[in-house]
Structure formats: structure tokens, C-alpha cells
């Protein structure tokens, strides 16, 4: 006969205390060690007894060793904390983040590690509510073996909280900290290549669509003061790269603007603003392909041809960007996830892991071309 429905045989479900290893041991008249061994080291008891133990467990509704207690005793949770410096929805909505998180997960999954998502909660609508609720709570209280930190500002409380835990930690695209290993890409180099490409095509007035610059979200033109204190390394490095390219051309003007969210909509709106206030702009440097997509839409809605009337360069080289024929800076997003996974595994194994900087590469496609012959004539 098939075994009777095991779960909670007598009484109502989840009535009374739960069944423990000791209950099983008692029911069978063996020691708890034996029951534990039945689950963890089959070679330590006879096959016969093991079967009897397992059967008794089923009969009693014992669902196996409690993971918590096991972790405590073993000193290991097999969980990795992935902290994401923004509300989780953005991670799901941002293709680059999604790609990266997916590849990280795949990399560690093979080692039986699970991923605990620790996202920055939404900024509370009212400041008072924000004040009395500590966003670092989850990070400080997470039962994990190590951390991966993605997309936080340098001065983020979240990042600080992670570092304070003193667990093996991998930082992604972040300023180096001695307590953690950093894995990133050559943001500045890629950005510089993108800007240089435009300059060598003859562009002299460039718009820049920036990703978020600091924890306080802001939208619109970036003042020099704000540019001086960018706290997201990704943004600061890319901006620096753009600027570096212009050093050889003092006559070039750069108009950085900041988006609140990394969405095509935001990119579109900002591009419209940019072109309205600076009609001499002939090319737009975007810190992400998603923003570039918005810039393309803006151009279309203004009746501007790309690349004849407006050049657009992205960053990331998302899977979809090839079909948009977008000139962009490629970065090894998937590979980065892989490396991060490897690094944290190495760290968890007790070995030191070296920091890694992955290369970026300009991919010239169809959204860039020399500017129209006489842009000056179109002034104002």
C-alpha cells in the first residue's frame, strides 16, 4: 500500500509544536545522532535502520532537519546576499541589471548557493516615515555567507552596513575598499572611446544623458557643483571618460543632464529638453542603451534623422541594441556576472580573490555619423 498522507497526520495542521529530530529519535528509541546521520551520512548507519528512521519521520510528519538549526551548527547558510541599491522593481525593469543578476545567479546556483535579494526599499513618500525606518535593517540582519553589492552609491548606508558585517564581499562597479574585492569594467575608457568617436566625426556640441549621479535623485541639467560630487562610480567614471576625450578639444561643449530613472521615457524627455535648450547639439552621449533608445525616440518625434541630423551613442550593448543599429559601448555584462560569482565562491572557500577590471569596447553601428555640414547656420 502507498504510504498514508504524511503531513500532519493527527489533529489540525500546524497544531502544537513542530516535530523535531528528537521526536523521531524518541519514537524509534534511537539517539538523535542516529536520526541526524540518517539524513546527513547514510554510511554511518545500517541501511535497514536508516529506512526505519525515514519511515518514522514520515509517519510523524517530520519534514527533515530544520535548515536554520543546521545552518547555525554548521556555521554556513549557503545563501548569498545580493544587495541592490535601488528598489527591486528597477532591477527587474532595467535590462542590464536583469542580465547581470541573472548571470550571477546562474554562476552560484551550480554550487547550491541561493540568492537573497536585498534591495533598497522605496523611499518613503513622507520624510517622517523614512526617518523612523532604517533601510539597513535587512542587510544587518540577513543570514548570509557573503555579499554581492551592486548599484549602490559610494556613500550608501547600505554599502556601509554590508562592509560592517565583515563577511566575504564582492563589490560590483564600485570604488575599491580594502575589505572587499572589486569587480568592474573600464567605464572611463569606454566612455572616452565613445566621446572620441563623436569628436573625430566632427561633433563639437554634445549632449550627455547621465544615469543617476547620487542617492538623492534629481533630474535635469547637471551643474558643475553636482558634477563634482557624483557618488555612483559608474556615472562618475563615464562622465570622467567623456570629459577626458574633450581635453584635446577645448572648443567642445558638453551638456550633461541627469535622468531620474533609467528608462526610455526618461531618456526621451530629457533629450527633448536638451535639444530645446541647446539647439546646437549634434550628438548625444548616453550612459545606457536604454537611455539611448529614448534619445532615438525623441529624435523621431522631432523629425530628426539619425544619424544625419543627430548622432546617438549608448552604453552597455544590450542584446536588443544590435537590431536598433545603435552605436554603443559594449561591456561584458554576462561575463561580469560570471566573474562575480567566481570571486565570491573563491572568497567563501577561504582564498583571496583578485580584483578584476573587464574591458569595454566601442561598437560603431549606424546611429553615428558626421554632423550636418553647417550646424552653425541652424543656430537658434
Positions that interact with DNA (CB under 7 A): 17-18, 20-22, 29-34, 36-37, 39-40, 43-46, 49-50, 62, 64-66, 68-70, 72-75
| CB of 275 vs its own copies, minimal distance in Å | 21
Q: State how far the Cα of 325 lies from the Cα of 135, in Å rounded to an integer.
A: 41
Q: Which is nearer to DNA, 40 or 55 (CB)?
A: 40
Interface segment toward its own copies; rule CB under 8 A; list 65-73, 212-220, 242-250, 287-295 = 65-73
- The strand ranges marked E within the chain are 79-84, 114-119, 146-150, 169-172, 181-185, 205-210, 220-221, 253-258, 283-286, 311-316, 327-330, 356-358, 361-363
Q: Is-cis flag, bond preceding 363, omega within 30?
A: no
> Of the two residues 32 and 115, which places its CB atom closer to its own copies in the complex?
115
Taking the complex as a whole, how short is the minimal distance between the CB of residue 63 and its own copies, in angstroms? 6
Footprint of its own copies on 67-106 (CB under 8 A): 67-72, 77-79, 87-89, 91-93, 97-99, 101-103, 105-106
The secondary structure of 211-269 as a DSSP string is ---SSS---EEPPHHHHHT---HHHHHHHHHHHHHHTT-TT-EEEEEE-SSSSHHHHHH
- Does 42 bind its own copies (CB under 8 A)? Our answer is no
Whether the CB-CB separation of 271 and 300 falls below 8 Å is answered with no
The yes or no reply on residue 61 touching its own copies (CB under 8 A) is: yes
Nearest CA-CA partner of 243 in 228, 263, 259, 264: 228
Crossing angle of helices 289-302/264-277, nearest 10°?
A: 50
Question: Judged by CB, which is closer to its own copies: 156, or 237?
Answer: 156
Shortest distance in whole angstroms from residue 178 CB to its own copies: 9
| 272 belongs to the binding site for its own copies (CB under 8 A) | no
Least distance from its own copies to the Cβ atom of residue 341, Å: 12
Stretch binding its own copies (CB under 8 A), from 44-52, 61-69, 211-219, 369-377: 61-69
Q: Residue 179's binding partner, choosing from its own copies, DNA, none, with beta-carbon cut-off 5 to 8 A by kind?
A: its own copies
Contact 284, 313 (CB under 8 A): yes
User: At closest approach, how far in Å is the CB of 22 from DNA?
Assistant: 5
Q: Please state, in angstroms and rounded to a whole number, the distance separating the CA atoms of residues 324 and 41.
A: 56
> What secondary structure letter does DSSP report for 370?
P
Please pick, from the candidates 2, 4, 7, 247, the single residue that binds its own copies as defined by CB under 8 A.
7
Is 29 a binder of its own copies (CB under 8 A)?
Answer: no
State the Cα–Cα distance between residues 56 and 199, nearest whole angstrom.
76
Round to whole Å and give the CA distance between 270 and 119: 27
31 binds, among DNA, its own copies, none (CB under 5 to 8 A by kind): DNA
User: Dihedral sign, CA of 363, 199, 207, 190?
Assistant: positive
Q: Scan residues 168-207 and list those touching its own copies (CB under 8 A).
A: 179
Total binding residues toward its own copies, as defined by CB under 8 A: 54
Stretch that binds its own copies, among 7-15, 184-192, 201-209, 252-260 (CB under 8 A): 7-15
The grid coordinates listed for 373 are 555640414
Name the residue with cell 533608445: 293
Which SS3 state, helix, strand or coil, does residue 116 take? strand
Angle among Cα 50, 51, 57 to the nearest 5 degrees reads 90
Indicate which of DNA, its own copies, none lies near residue 338 (CB less than 5 to 8 Å, by partner kind): none
Choice between 63 and 216, CB closer to its own copies: 63
29 binds, among its own copies, DNA, none (CB under 5 to 8 A by kind): DNA
Is residue 142 at the binding interface for its own copies, with CB under 8 A as the rule?
A: yes
Q: Which residues bind its own copies (CB under 8 A)?
A: 6-8, 13-14, 61, 63-64, 66-72, 77-79, 87-89, 91-93, 97-99, 101-103, 105-106, 109-110, 112, 114-119, 121-122, 137-138, 140-143, 163-166, 179
Amino acid at each position: 500500500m502507498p504510504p498514508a498522507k504524511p503531513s500532519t497526520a493527527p489533529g489540525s495542521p500546524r497544531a502544537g509544536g513542530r516535530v523535531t529530530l528528537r521526536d523521531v529519535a524518541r519514537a524509534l528509541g534511537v539517539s538523535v545522532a542516529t536520526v541526524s546521520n540518517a539524513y546527513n551520512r547514510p554510511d554511518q548507519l545500517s541501511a535497514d535502520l536508516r529506512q526505519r528512521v525515514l519511515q518514522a519521520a514520515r509517519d510523524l510528519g517530520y519534514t527533515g532537519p530544520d535548515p536554520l538549526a543546521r545552518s547555525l551548527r554548521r556555521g554556513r547558510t549557503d545563501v548569498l546576499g545580493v544587495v541592490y541599491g535601488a528598489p527591486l522593481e528597477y532591477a527587474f525593469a532595467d535590462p542590464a541589471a536583469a542580465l547581470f543578476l541573472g548571470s550571477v545567479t546562474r554562476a552560484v546556483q551550480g554550487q547550491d548557493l541561493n540568492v537573497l535579494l536585498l534591495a533598497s526599499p522605496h523611499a518613503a513618500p513622507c520624510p517622517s516615515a523614512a526617518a523612523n525606518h532604517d533601510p539597513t535593517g535587512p542587510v544587518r540582519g540577513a543570514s548570509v555567507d557573503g555579499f554581492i553589492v551592486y548599484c549602490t552609491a559610494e556613500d550608501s548606508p547600505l554599502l556601509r552596513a554590508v562592509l560592517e558585517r565583515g563577511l566575504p564581499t564582492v563589490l560590483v562597479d564600485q570604488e575599491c575598499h580594502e575589505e572587499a574585492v572589486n569587480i568592474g569594467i573600464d567605464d572611463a575608457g569606454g566612455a572616452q572611446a565613445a566621446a572620441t568617436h563623436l569628436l573625430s566625426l566632427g561633433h563639437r556640441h554634445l549632449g550627455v544623458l547621465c544615469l543617476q549621479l547620487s542617492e538623492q535623485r534629481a533630474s535635469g541639467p547637471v551643474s558643475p557643483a553636482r558634477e563634482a560630487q557624483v557618488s555612483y562610480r559608474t556615472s562618475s567614471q563615464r562622465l570622467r571618460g567623456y570629459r577626458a576625450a574633450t581635453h584635446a578639444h577645448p572648443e567642445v561643449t558638453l551638456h550633461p543632464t541627469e535622468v531620474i530613472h533609467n528608462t526610455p521615457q526618461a531618456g526621451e524627455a530629457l533629450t527633448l529638453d536638451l535639444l530645446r535648450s541647446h539647439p546646437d547639439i549634434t550628438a548625444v552621449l548616453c550612459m545606457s542603451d536604454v537611455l539611448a533608445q529614448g534619445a532615438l525616440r525623441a529624435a523621431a518625434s522631432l523629425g530628426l534623422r539619425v544619424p544625419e541630423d543627430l548622432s546617438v551613442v549608448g552604453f552597455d550593448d544590450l542584446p536588443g541594441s544590435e537590431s536598433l543599429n545603435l552605436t554603443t559601448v559594449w561591456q561584458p555584462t554576462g561575463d561580469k556576472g560570471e566573474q562575480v560569482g567566481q570571486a565570491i565562491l573563491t572568497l567563501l572557500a577561504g582564498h583571496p580573490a583578485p580584483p578584476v577590471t573587464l574591458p569595454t569596447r566601442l561598437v560603431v553601428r549606424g546611429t553615428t555619423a558626421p554632423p550636418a555640414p553647417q550646424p552653425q547656420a541652424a543656430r537658434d
